[in-house]
Structures are given as C-alpha cells and as structure tokens.
Structure 1
C-alpha cells in the first residue's frame, strides 16, 4: 500500500476509522522529525506487530520553553518522508501548529508527580506540552499501540502514567535506546555538536557505564554513584551538568539506598550549547 500523507485532523481521523472498522490494528510512532535510526527502529517494530503503521512528524511548540531551540530545531521533511516510505509507513501525519492548536486553544494535560523532577524541574511546562500533544495525537490517530524510546525515560513514564490514569485505549510499547558505535544515544540534537563536542559527548554513556559497574560490585550508597558519574562528566571541558541522579525506575524519586531491586541512573548534560539526556537501568533490571 502506498504511503498517504495527511495534514488535517479530520483526514487522519477518517483514515484511521476506516481501517479500525475493518478490524485492523494500528501501530503509531509519534516524532518531531529529523529522523534517525532510533526513530526507524520504533517504526520497524510497530510495522511487524500491527496491520498498519502510522507515523507523525510535528515539532510541538508547547513543549519548548522560552529561549529553547524551537526555531532552530533540525527539520528535514523530504528526507523524513522518504525514510517513512522506505520503512513501510502507511500514513504519515504532518499537521501544522495551527491545525493542532487553534486560535482559542486553552486545554492542557498535566501529569503531576512524575513530571516534577529531573527534566520537569529544568524545563518547566515541558511535560505539560508533551502530555497535551500526545493526548491529541492519540485521539486523532486512534492507535492500537504506540511506540516510544527509553532514551526519553521520563517522557515514557509521563505518557504511561497518563494513559493509565485517563483510561486511554492504547497500549504503550517501550523500546530500547539505540546508540552510536561509541555509545552516544541517538538524538536529533546530536547534529548540533561540533566534531570536538561530539567526542566529548560520549562522557554521558561512559558515566552511566561507570555507575552500572558500581552496581555490579554491590554498592549500596547512592552518593557513590553520583560521585563517579559526576567525576567522569566533569573531565570534559565543554560539559555543564544540568542534573545527575539515581532514582527509582517507577516513581523517579531519589533513592536513599541501592539494592538488587534496581535503580535508574539518569542525567542531562550540556555539551557546549547542546543539551543531551541519557539513562541506564542498572544491572539491566
């Protein structure tokens, strides 16, 4: 089936309803475009697990704060469309901001506790924008299952909590973080890095690996993990730490002790002007 590109909410809804009425399942991958292998891996999995595949490309203005990179966020619409077609996307939804947020738009979704720490503290309002746009996309697409990468771990927890609390009829499928050969998590923002910054950016992954090795040795003191991660990141001249934390993987609350039930090491670091995030479930649990 040839890929259809749809730009209106009514057109996308009609497409989905026609197929759902015929008993078909729809896998959905929402993106902000500038697609890389991480996005494509989500699409491949959704393609194999559903009758139909929908992807969206929408740079959502409500999740960007003041002085953030909305205007400069990387965009490659023609290349993105070609990649989607090659993967086997059946419908590509590419709405405009005006289509998604009318002139009198005033309704937002707030997921309270899990949105508060980490990126929620650093980027006030960010997750309200994420939760709102994902709610709208779920309502428009009517997906059976939606696929999200674990690199954006807090975002995944926010969306999972929202779906549970609001009884949304969509299954959330977490997918592993994809990494470059040196371990750097794939991200559209990696394109901002200069060659020297790109070399330094691997410190995020190396800090997480150091924490994982400490977990393997049975360390119970969270401060030991924070110290070893900070020490690694601070070796890089362009690195500025936003946060480095060790948290409960379910609640995202800081841990006062580490045991074999597991922990999430999570960090946000600016390399030059580029803010990167990454995380690791220690011990692979």
Structure 2
C-alpha cells in the first residue's frame, strides 16, 4: 500500500490502532537495499504494522549537488517492498506534506557530540535530521522507530531528539547490514560502479584493522596506520577517522580501560561519500 498524503496515512493508521495493532516506523530516503530490508524485518518482529517512509529530506543536505544526485526511484522501491513485505505501508510524501510552506530546519540543542565527525563536516545536517523526524513522528505516531547503526551518530541524535521533544516513541538501533565483503549497505552504493564497489572494501578493512590494533596500540598510532592505508589508495580521499568514547561520542587521544570506544570513518571514493563505524570492543 502506497500512500502520499499524511491525512490518508493517519486515517489508515487510526483504524489499525483501534484494532490493537502496534505501529513501527522505518524512515528512509529511498533507494532501498538489503540494509533497509533488515530494518523492516526487525520492525515486523517488534510491531504488528510497519510504515516505511520514503522522503529525500532537503534540509539535511549541506551540499546541493549531493541532494540533486541522491538516487531516487519510488516505483522501484515500492516494488522492492511489495516483493519482500507486501503488507508494508509505504509513505511517500511531497515536500509540502512534511514542511508546509517553510522548508527549513529547526535548531536543536543535541549536545557537544554533534560538533564532531558528521556534524563537523556537514553543517546543519543534524538539525535537518531532527526537523524531518520530529514531523514524521508527529504524523505517524509510531510505537517504535528503527534506525541502522551504520549512522551511529545519527542514532544518538534521534534518541536525544525524542528526549527533547517528549514524543512517545521508542528508538531502536539495529546492527549494520554488510555485503559479503564487509561494505556497509548504503543507498549511496548505487552510485558506485563494480570496480569502485570492490575498492570500497577498504573502509571495512580499515575499521577491522583499527579494532585489531586497539588493545595494544595508542590512538595516535592507529590513526597514523589508517591514514597510511588510505594514502596507498589514491582513488580514495579520507575525510576523517576518529576514535571516540562511546558514552559521549567525542574524539579522544587517550584510552581508559573502563570505557568503551568506537571508530568512525568518512571517505570519498570519486564523488561518492561513504561513512561507517565499528565498536572497538
């Protein structure tokens, strides 16, 4: 079932809720892949009805070219969902259904952790994410919403968002879905050719290397090793590699045996920007 208007969606969900169904939401920007499917399947294991929103949110792009080139094919996405989960409710709103006449971000106080990594290199990105999700949560009123850990910093932002807004939705993080070579499933992978898909394995190899080194090497030496790995692959441009404390997501140069750490990475392969992260414990 594909629904374009929020009024029609709310009428459909109101009937489902009156019948005692719990509602799960999987927010997406389309270009659906196996990673999305794993989120949807997990949502079905937790909820009676699942809504998948497909909306390329303009306010979370700080690069107009990136927004323009973001892959879009709603009919293909709907067919993908019909094949795998035919009962899924697909919500495909136009921009004015989400933002009315004013397409701009709200400002949120998410905390210091958004000043690093994605927040540092994508100005205003997380305010855009918060703005669209606040609206989607208001429209759908889901019991639970599901997000992949590939965007781990974003996952923490979303949890902070519902703390700020007081919206009654449980945020569920799901493990990163990877292909057979370890590359994190991403809609941006559609923009890579076969040779680049093979090269992109470097991101997973770098994170795995960092994890193997972490217990017996300094943060500085790990960062140096990862930098060398990317310098040896001229088709890549490393934007950042950061090791952070998991509790606050702030980059660190020291290690405390009582803390848990996570490595984050962003790199350009040609014009395509790829991100990933991995727990170091």
Instruction: Quickly name the TM-score band, shorter chain normalised.
Output: over 0.9
SS at match of 1:68: helix
Q: Write the distance in 2 (CA, Å) between the matches of 1:106 and 1:68.
A: 18
2:219 is matched with: 222
Label 1:211 to 1:96 Cα distance change in 2 as closer, same or farther (>3 A): same
Cα RMSD of the aligned pairs, angstroms, is: 1.6
Deviation of 1:6 (Å): 1.3
Alignment of 1:81-160 (within 5 A): 81-85=78-82, 86-104=84-102, 108-110=106-108, 111-160=110-159
**2 CA distance for matches of 1:6 and 1:193?**
31
- The Cα offsets for residues 70-117 of structure 1, whole Å up to 9 and x where unpaired, read as 122111212211222232443111001122122245661423423221
**C-alpha deviations, 1:8-54, integer Å up to 9, x for none?**
12222222223223332111101011100000000001012111111
Matched, 1:70 2:67: yes
Q: CA deviation at 1:185?
A: 0.8
Partner Cα separation in structure 2 for residue 107 and residue 147 of structure 1: 22
Aligned residue number for residue 205 of structure 1: 204
- Provide the secondary structure at the position in 2 that maps to 1:34: coil
Given candidates 24, 33, 43, the residue that maps to 2:30 is 33
Contact 1:207/1:230 (8 A) holds in 2: no
Per the normalisation by structure 2, the TM-score is 0.93
State how far apart, in whole Å, the 2-side matches of 1:184 and 1:70 are.
Answer: 23
Q: Which runs of 4+ in 1 moved over 6 A?
A: none
CA distance in 2, matches of 1:68, 1:155: 22
Q: 1:198 Cα deviation (Å)?
A: 2.2
Tell me the CA shift for residue 67 of structure 1.
Answer: 3.6
Secondary structure of the residue that 2:66 maps to in structure 1? coil
Distance 1:271 1:258 in 2: 31
